[in-house]
Structure 1
């Protein structure tokens, strides 16, 4: 029985060797490669050997197939279960770890010693023939195209002839310089220009026919690139204006005007109050009224668009107990009758399913976000604003506010304005569309690149440019994998979001739906929205973990800025004396990348080419956002007719960041930067507490015994853990896949560990203690100490101590997660 089994194995072994050396393919057909005569001889010899073995065992004729060799014998029912090595290779050409159940073979044992003798001779003969055949035809095998990378989402892609084990590192064929050049060759202004023209639509509001048409186009591109596209479907609630109605503003009994523009998620109804002009609605603007002793309770606040989001303006007005907010757009180039659109949800996602996804609209209990305003909010045209200013009295505005097209006054006591908002709440079905390029080593770790697909009106700068960049990046990198032997270690997910104009609804609903899945799998989110709005400056907002990678990428991307674009790196063009001060700016809540970082704890980055505002190199807001004037002509004018060139450079910047993260052994995340940010807050809090104690302002309160030492120790723990990780990297073998994966997992824990674990994402969605919103943040601790020092009625010493303790342990928990395994923790850390 043993000899029989061995003979079967040798037959198939020779079959496999012949296939691997190019003599005989695995399906049994002879290859036409120039060795026809030798291979014919080998094939003939193998046929004779197979026939000889059959005769030796005197059985019925064998039936040989690609996957088994079955012998049907008479008499004896004994069976031998076995698995041929060639079967293993053929059954899983593009999926690692997928092993089929063993085949079962029946046979009748040999009857005589003579049969055994001939079997041994036959086996030796076959072995010698196989050895000679391999020796004569040994040649370097061509490196074939990778197997379908979309075969299974959880499996790494492998080559057909040599499956790569998930735990085994590959030596990349391409250097980083090669990868950069390949990407640059494919991301050209010409290709971006063509894609921009293909995706340009007059209207593609979320859930509309235009939005669905673009979704189908994106899905088709992903499918043609073999990126295994999929969609998720959400039923979300948005507020819109009825087709038969409009919103109104009256001054006394005079109708100021009606407008088709609106602010989604406003309160509805009619409110009346004294109108007060408050510039941009910034906190410092409202402080002007507080310092003057002017009461704003029950007023209608009139504000200019810009500086901060509509939601922030309305939230600031609501804090002053106003009853309504009016917002107008005052910019050169904007017609007096241009309607303005937006939303006023102080948050992101569907505000009627806070903290959980809108997958099935029939299953949710009544709920709404705390970020919904309780006051009316409405946009008005420049013409309506001009009419109001002419009717308003009161004191003149401060000189610093004297900008815009109209004479401005603060408003008189008798200037009564009535605001009517008739918005209705509707339910819309939206689709997010995804495609993936799977990694070859760690496919379950991925970078997400996303772009908003919907917009008010044409949305050329808002969404068309970003979507075009998304598809060109997908096409370029897919082509590199298929034709240029690029083998990314990790996966790359491309996402096209809907309902972005209503507050990153599509992206946030996806995050809420897969929060636990994304926790330790998504490495970084790269946002492509509004990446091109001008041609003079470059700005970025990001997690501190990504600062080092941003700096490196700036030095490697050619700049489109200047009279001779491409001669300098982007870093040389925009960095100035201090690149961080020149380039980096805080991430705002209305940024699509914000919920990834502040809600899900995923390091995120957003960036843009913009116009220079003239204020110390700061970027100017693109004035056509939220209007139907966001079209190709206006963006081309803003970019000096080089929109496609700037889009190509923006795609290069995003692409190189993504490729670094999915290609290199270790993630390019900078742990030290977070240590610096934490230490700054700790120092501020320490100074404030010391000052309060010295002044006696907290004498007799529980704050008198508060020590900042605990917080300082937590901050020190993080820095020590960061240094220890650097030492580990310096002394590790980076060709060890398992070691790299463990180190990268420790990097990935940092951002998520800075989400306060003591809060519900339903009640406080942005739980990040550095970049979130709420009393749990370090900034809130600083402001609370200011309130205590000023003896504000809103201050609470005991509440502060509780917030202080929770923030301290969140930082300590982040340090502990950075250390790694629980047995590595000790009191020193």
Structure 2
């Protein structure tokens, strides 16, 4: 044992064979190390521990301690590195963490959006983000600022509002903000000669002046004077004039008194009166249609409702092309400008006129609620002598610089495809509903999407936010912009959402839409809580009314969305919340204020505004997010099917005249097949292929444009859409004409019907061919 220990120690102390070797110090000098002598003391007998085992145990313990220290340090380093990496990654993914650190729970894992920074966002995340950033109080604050006072186009108040809107948009995280300006001809009341109304005798001498509201007028009325008897025409609808003809009431040369409402605009009332041979139209709010008790949120009996009477949109002196410097263009005007006089009057003035009429009693259902009026049609007056009415309109035309204000968020994959959100900014009066509501919703949506952009939202397609000028005169600013970009807009614009007059109550939701967008509304109303019924979705209440499709209606002429579809070929939508039991009576009056709107809504203005903004925002999100545009290209097949059924009912009568509806049937079949084939092709394709996806989306985007008839003049017939437009080329005109075969065969015009049938069929067949894609995919059997 001693020998082994001696060998071990000599190896440790002497370093083995090299123990006597010199050690090199700095400077190259080698120093000899003296030998070390060890003396070993022998262990006593009976010792249980040997030196060899003690030394080995000590050596191993030291190694283990070092290893433990190294492992501990390595573990801490790995943990710290992993923690930091995980924190950075999680922070990049948690885009819904607000300043307070709250995390919104998510539930949907479908529809991923890949951002350029590598993060993934899902549609459920985007929906929750939209809900989080929408603020009720901001909607109310903007509405109050915009509706402080009357702000018509060109006024100092209007320009101040425009500057404020532009500044607010510039303060947001937008990729671009800019203005688009046009000089348009607008009509205003004369400052020197007010519009007048008199009773006159048979010689034209003035017997009595009837006072009128100096602020009430109909923009784009003809000017001058007109004299005649007075005829009560109910709402001034086409069927009302037809009933008057049946009753034998003398219309030619008379002045019509018409009620506000009935589903027709002022412009349509005046146009139909002009066609019937009348020389003027006086339009009043009847208490049966418009509440007129100021103590119960109604108009006072001396109030008037003003509205333009141009049967069209845009500057009527530059129809079909954008309005710039008029001196550079030949003089022309819209075919929709009236050539007869029009003027709004109060219920009191209407009562004074109608209470003195004589003639045939009114048809059933025509009786309003004017006091002291026994409903008769005229045109004469009771009492001695022959009396008539003379009206004078002295409105003046004025060129006004209109400023449309734009802001955009660029899409990351399809930046040249736009979803457009717009609202009218101007108002002849405070305009809380007319322009304030839409502007407030527009600004809140712009702010919300800007905040979402800062927190990881990267839209696939671009978003455009637009504040339009000249809306009170027939959507002049919007239409002039459409006219300027008409040749390329169908390649760029995916859809348009109008926010105008979105809040007229808080009970019933109505959606006025192109059929292509109708399916979007179902998904949106599932997600949004009804503003009046906490805890219930809008869809749950709509289902009690017969289903969501019952709330979807065709676009109407005075809608802010109408010209986009009927003129521009862009799918468009406008929605309203209205009261179930009563209407908001102050639109287009000087009484349209925030206070009255809040009173009607019982303080729920913010919650209703939030619901509308959320509805529109969800539809915009879907259009900007989905790889394949969610537009229903088959929708028009059903509409044409209804026409086919109607034509089938008259097959025998048409064939007896040498006419055949087979052309329409064939074109309808081609369109239906093309639409279904496109849907099937998309279903069976790899939508991750961006090239293929873009080709499909381009075909889908152009569907609405395909239905703009290429066979009528945009100057003479601006609303060329065969389904949503106006004119002899439309489906409705064709259906009305063919119905004459039974109701009035003597009025059926064979040559006109042939032309109508040809124009509609060619447009439908062209849409079918275009939807088919490449020319070799078109199936036209011999």
User: How far apart, in 2, do the equivalents of 1:726 and 1:460 lie?
Assistant: 43
> Which stretch shows the higher mean deviation, 181-190 or 485-494?
181-190
* Structure 1 residues 276-425: aligned runs within 5 Å: 276-307=231-262, 308-330=264-286, 331=290, 332=292, 333-406=298-371, 407=373, 408-413=375-380, 414-425=386-397
* Structure 1 residues 242-281: aligned runs within 5 Å: 242-252=190-200, 253-260=207-214, 261-281=216-236
- Of the three residues 673, 690, 702, the one matched with 1:737 is 690
Asked if structure 2 preserves the Cα contact closer than 8 Å seen for 1:246 and 1:259, the reply is no
* Structure 1 residues 121-132: aligned runs within 5 Å: none
Report the TM-score, using the length of structure 2 for normalisation. Answer: 0.80
- Paired position in structure 1 for 2:551: 583
Shift of 1:818: 1.2
- Which string of whole-angstrom CA distances, capped at 9 and with x for unpartnered residues, describes residues 441-462 of structure 1? 0000010000000111100011
- Of the three residues 639, 643, 648, the one matched with 2:605 is 643
> Which stretch shows the higher mean deviation, 326-335 or 790-799?
790-799
Shift of 1:142: 6.8
1:735 and 1:634, CA in 2 relative to 1: closer, same or farther beyond 3 A? same
User: How far apart, in 1, do the equivalents of 2:147 and 2:212 lie?
Assistant: 30
- Paired position in structure 1 for 2:473: 502
User: How far apart, in 2, do the equivalents of 1:389 and 1:214 lie?
Assistant: 42
Report the TM-score, using the length of structure 1 for normalisation. Answer: 0.76
- Paired position in structure 2 for 1:38: none
* Structure 1 residues 433-444: aligned runs within 5 Å: 433-444=405-416
Is 1:527 matched with 2:527? Answer: no
- Paired position in structure 1 for 2:532: 561
Greater Rg by CA: 2
Asked if structure 1 preserves the Cα contact closer than 8 Å seen for 2:115 and 2:457, the reply is no
Question: What SS class does the counterpart of residue 670 from structure 2 fall into?
Answer: helix
User: How far apart, in 2, do the equivalents of 1:742 and 1:145 lie?
Assistant: 33
* Structure 1 residues 795-810: aligned runs within 5 Å: 795-810=748-763
Greater RCO, 1 or 2 (C-alpha within 8 Å, sep 6+): 2
1:777 and 1:263, CA in 2 relative to 1: closer, same or farther beyond 3 A? same
Is 1:429 matched with 2:391? Answer: no
User: How far apart, in 2, do the equivalents of 1:528 and 1:630 lie?
Assistant: 17
1:173 and 1:691, CA in 2 relative to 1: closer, same or farther beyond 3 A? same
- Paired position in structure 2 for 1:188: 135
Question: What SS class does the counterpart of residue 249 from structure 1 fall into?
Answer: strand
- Of the three residues 588, 603, 620, the one matched with 2:571 is 603
Shift of 1:794: 6.0
- Of the three residues 449, 461, 477, the one matched with 1:477 is 449
Shift of 1:289: 0.9
1:145 and 1:174, CA in 2 relative to 1: closer, same or farther beyond 3 A? closer
Shift of 1:777: 0.5
Question: What SS class does the counterpart of residue 714 from structure 1 fall into?
Answer: helix
Shift of 1:409: 2.5
- Paired position in structure 2 for 1:747: 700
User: How far apart, in 2, do the equivalents of 1:683 and 1:224 lie?
Assistant: 56
1:799 and 1:582, CA in 2 relative to 1: closer, same or farther beyond 3 A? closer
- Which string of whole-angstrom CA distances, capped at 9 and with x for unpartnered residues, describes residues 323-366 of structure 1? 10000123322112223321100000000000001122331210
Question: What SS class does the counterpart of residue 425 from structure 1 fall into?
Answer: strand
Shift of 1:255: 1.2
- Paired position in structure 2 for 1:162: none
User: How far apart, in 2, do the equivalents of 1:809 and 1:573 lie?
Assistant: 42
Question: What SS class does the counterpart of residue 303 from structure 2 fall into?
Answer: coil
Shift of 1:411: 2.0
Is 1:513 matched with 2:490? Answer: no
Shift of 1:415: 4.8
Asked if structure 1 preserves the Cα contact closer than 8 Å seen for 2:491 and 2:702, the reply is yes
Question: What SS class does the counterpart of residue 578 from structure 1 fall into?
Answer: coil
Shift of 1:672: 2.0
Shift of 1:660: 0.6
- Of the three residues 453, 463, 484, the one matched with 2:435 is 463
User: How far apart, in 1, do the equivalents of 2:780 and 2:654 lie?
Assistant: 31
Asked if structure 2 preserves the Cα contact closer than 8 Å seen for 1:535 and 1:640, the reply is no
Shift of 1:273: 0.7
User: How far apart, in 1, do the equivalents of 2:463 and 2:251 lie?
Assistant: 51
User: How far apart, in 2, do the equivalents of 1:758 and 1:643 lie?
Assistant: 47
Shift of 1:412: 4.3
User: How far apart, in 2, do the equivalents of 1:144 and 1:225 lie?
Assistant: 24
User: How far apart, in 2, do the equivalents of 1:334 and 1:173 lie?
Assistant: 54
> Which stretch shows the higher mean deviation, 816-825 or 305-314?
816-825
Asked if structure 2 preserves the Cα contact closer than 8 Å seen for 1:556 and 1:569, the reply is yes
Shift of 1:398: 2.8
1:384 and 1:450, CA in 2 relative to 1: closer, same or farther beyond 3 A? same
1:389 and 1:175, CA in 2 relative to 1: closer, same or farther beyond 3 A? same
User: How far apart, in 1, do the equivalents of 2:593 and 2:771 lie?
Assistant: 47
Question: What SS class does the counterpart of residue 182 from structure 2 fall into?
Answer: strand
Count of aligned pairs between the two proteins: 656
Question: What SS class does the counterpart of residue 634 from structure 2 fall into?
Answer: helix
User: How far apart, in 2, do the equivalents of 1:172 and 1:222 lie?
Assistant: 27
Asked if structure 1 preserves the Cα contact closer than 8 Å seen for 2:115 and 2:456, the reply is no
Asked if structure 2 preserves the Cα contact closer than 8 Å seen for 1:275 and 1:411, the reply is yes
Asked if structure 2 preserves the Cα contact closer than 8 Å seen for 1:271 and 1:418, the reply is yes
Q: Which segments of 5 or more consecutive residues in structure 1 lack a partner in the other structure?
A: 1-134, 147-166, 614-619, 694-698
User: How far apart, in 2, do the equivalents of 1:554 and 1:171 lie?
Assistant: 32
Alpha-carbon RMSD across the aligned residues, in angstroms, is: 2.4
Question: What SS class does the counterpart of residue 354 from structure 1 fall into?
Answer: coil
- Paired position in structure 2 for 1:208: 155
User: How far apart, in 2, do the equivalents of 1:729 and 1:334 lie?
Assistant: 55
User: How far apart, in 2, do the equivalents of 1:721 and 1:412 lie?
Assistant: 56
4+ long deviations beyond 6 Å: 138-146, 167-172
Shift of 1:191: 2.5
User: How far apart, in 2, do the equivalents of 1:229 and 1:327 lie?
Assistant: 41
> Which stretch shows the higher mean deviation, 506-515 or 360-369?
360-369
* Structure 1 residues 656-671: aligned runs within 5 Å: 656-671=618-633
- Paired position in structure 1 for 2:54: none
Question: What SS class does the counterpart of residue 609 from structure 2 fall into?
Answer: helix
Shift of 1:556: 1.5
Question: What SS class does the counterpart of residue 259 from structure 1 fall into?
Answer: coil
Asked if structure 2 preserves the Cα contact closer than 8 Å seen for 1:168 and 1:441, the reply is no
1:458 and 1:443, CA in 2 relative to 1: closer, same or farther beyond 3 A? same
- Paired position in structure 2 for 1:594: 562
- Paired position in structure 2 for 1:763: 716
Q: Which segments of 5 or more consecutive residues in structure 2 lack a partner in the other structure?
A: 1-80, 94-113, 201-206, 293-297, 381-385
